Amino acid sequence: MGQETIGFDLLLAGEIAYGIIIIITCLHVIYNTPSTTKTLAYILGVIFLPVIGIGTYFMFGANYRKNKLYSKKIVTDNRMLSDIRRQITLESEKAWNSGEPEVQKHKKLARFLLNDSMSPLTGNNQVELLINGEQKFPEVIEAMKNARHHIHIEYYIFEDEVIGNQIKDVLIQKAREGVAVRFIYDDFGSRSIRKNLVPELLEAGVQAFPFYKVYFILLANRINYRNHRKIIVIDGTVGFVGGINVSDRYINNDINDQVYWRDTHVKITGPGTYYLQYLFICDWNFCSDSHLKPDRELFPEHPETNGDAIVQIAASGPDSDQPTIMFSLLQVFGLAEDEILITTPYFIPGENILDALQMAAISGVKVKILVPGKSDSKFVDYAARSYYGDLLKVGVEIYMYKKGFIHAKTIVSDGQLSIIGTANMDHRSFELNFEVNSMIYDDKTAGQLRDAFYNDLKDAVKINSKKWENRPAYKQLPEKVARLMSPLL
């Protein structure tokens, strides 16, 4: 009888303790999750999925580092910061007053990025669109070989493969020539280079550091806040940004027997590289054991170029005060009058983006979205498809790419504004990862990107709205279930 009493007391104590843990976890969710939808999703999981719900929240949902991620900043002196802000505003005013129709139409967007993150609106840029790895990597290698002062390179995925080793060899060569080479790699996305490639770089004098080091790959909460940016800045005058990581799969040729990989990058020559440089230095000061400070070598005066594109950079991460990239897209969709062309590999837009696209379509804007016919995640496929019906009902055209896998993250608005960057159209890119998009106010670039979009449609199948709506219930069920979980993806 005594043992039964003790067992009962232990069981009761365990239940009380677990109840207290549930209450504490729910309070933690309420106080630390700004989205009502996600708050409800996590609370339901915590209450109705014992242990699993609590574990899921603390692995994927709890933002441990938001207030600590950037303890180092490029500028700490308040007076200097005020002077820099004043200079950036003056330079941006010049671009606003240039009379360029692309800027005048998107003045609210440009003002938002300036006020939100001090991202300058820069003119006198030469912009080159790079389609797939076949176009990107030769340009990158040539630009690196011409480096005279520094090469800054930052990647989510850098693989120990053929193209990765070709770039490694150039970095080593330039380091031995006296060029300062600084390399940031995401410790999760680029885990294949830890053992061999990184030690080779370090031995040759390249400064290389992981971003937000992962000690245990399976520690999921550290996998959340990844550096998904792909940035290269050379001598402070040439920059590259876009969706193409350093991996052989991004190069389509007869040697690589693989799925056709469709992606887009951009090369920027001119003052549009200033903010890319700023982002790199912020990331560098966070993850390295040194502190770079702004000087004329890092932010040189730019000579006249042959380009006249106006460029601005949108960037955000889990430490941002606002979801800058998501807000910038909402502004773009709200300003569109004629046409919005979206290419994205992962389309889990959430309610805000979904509402904005529906409003644009109902207002008469032609909205076309290009997504993969099959992504690299079945569950993400289901979640994405759960949004298609809402958009198809209001006239949005959705196309599934069939030639291979489309990984580009691009938008063209009204044939005047181009967005080329690293951010997918999903919660992870908007809130959990460090991302960067280039905003190019230039009808020439927009025309080229628009042509590329319509060329991709030749290898895509348009979803029939009526057939989609009338699909059997058993096909729609997994999509509806996945949508319930989409705030957590």
Element spanning 20, H or E: helix 2-32
**Alpha-helical runs (H) found in 267-347:** 273-287, 324-335
Active site residue 230: yes
Q: Is the pTM of this model over 0.75?
A: yes
Provide the token pair at 452.
């590329």
Q: What's the CA gap between 108 and 297, in Å, rounded?
A: 32
Determine the pLDDT at residue 220.
Answer: 44
Determine the pLDDT at residue 34.
Answer: 66
Q: What's the CA gap between 427 and 346, in Å, rounded?
A: 10
Termini Cα distance of the chain: 50
Determine the pLDDT at residue 437.
Answer: 98
Type of residue numbered 291: H
Active site residue 228: yes
Q: What's the CA gap between 160 and 457, in Å, rounded?
A: 33
Active site residue 152: no
Phi, psi of 182 (to 5 degrees): -120, 130
Q: How far is CA 242 from the centre of its chain?
A: 9
Nearest to 177 by CA among 208, 209, 148, 207: 148
* Residues 6+ positions from 61 with CB-CB distance below 8 Å: 29, 33, 38, 42, 488
Active site residue 459: no
The residue from 150, 152, 407, 427 that is catalytic is 407
The residue from 186, 235, 283, 442 that is catalytic is 235
Determine the pLDDT at residue 43.
Answer: 76
* Residues 6+ positions from 77 with CB-CB distance below 8 Å: none
Phi, psi of 215 (to 5 degrees): -90, -30
125-307 carries CATH number 3.30.870.10? yes
The answer to whether the beta carbons of residues 251 and 312 sit under 8 Å apart is no
Total H helices, total E strands in the chain: 18, 19
Determine the pLDDT at residue 453.
Answer: 98
Sort 418 into a burial class: Cβ within 10 Å, 0-12 / 13-18 / 19+.
buried
The tens place of each residue's pLDDT in the chain, 489 residues long, gives: 555 566 556 666 766 777 787 788 778 777 777 666 677 767 777 776 667 667 666 655 655 445 445 544 565 545 555 666 677 777 787 777 776 888 889 999 999 999 998 899 999 999 999 999 999 999 999 999 999 999 999 999 999 999 999 999 999 999 999 999 999 999 999 999 999 999 999 999 999 999 878 766 555 444 667 899 999 999 999 999 999 999 999 999 876 668 899 999 999 999 999 999 999 998 998 888 788 888 888 988 877 767 889 999 999 988 788 899 999 999 999 999 999 999 999 999 989 999 999 999 999 999 999 999 987 778 888 888 999 999 999 999 999 999 999 999 999 999 999 999 999 999 889 988 999 999 999 999 999 999 999 999 999 999 999 999 998 888 888 877 777 766 655
Using only the alpha carbons of the chain, give its radius of gyration. 24
Q: What's the CA gap between 131 and 408, in Å, rounded?
A: 9
Handedness of CA 177, 204, 181, 133 (dihedral sign): positive
Active site residue 295: no
DSSP string, 53-77: HHHHIIIII--SSTTTS----S---
Q: What's the CA gap between 86 and 487, in Å, rounded?
A: 39
The residue from 414, 426, 442, 456 that is catalytic is 414
* Residues 6+ positions from 401 with CB-CB distance below 8 Å: 262, 370, 371, 372, 373, 456, 459, 460
**Strand 309-316 to 122-131 pairing:** antiparallel
Active site residue 407: yes
Q: What's the CA gap between 283 and 286, in Å, rounded?
A: 5
**Alpha-helical runs (H) found in 397-472:** 427, 443-457, 465-469
Query: Length of the chain in residues, anyone?
Result: 489
DSSP string, 234-251: ETTTEEEEES--BSGGG-
The residue from 150, 152, 228, 265 that is catalytic is 228
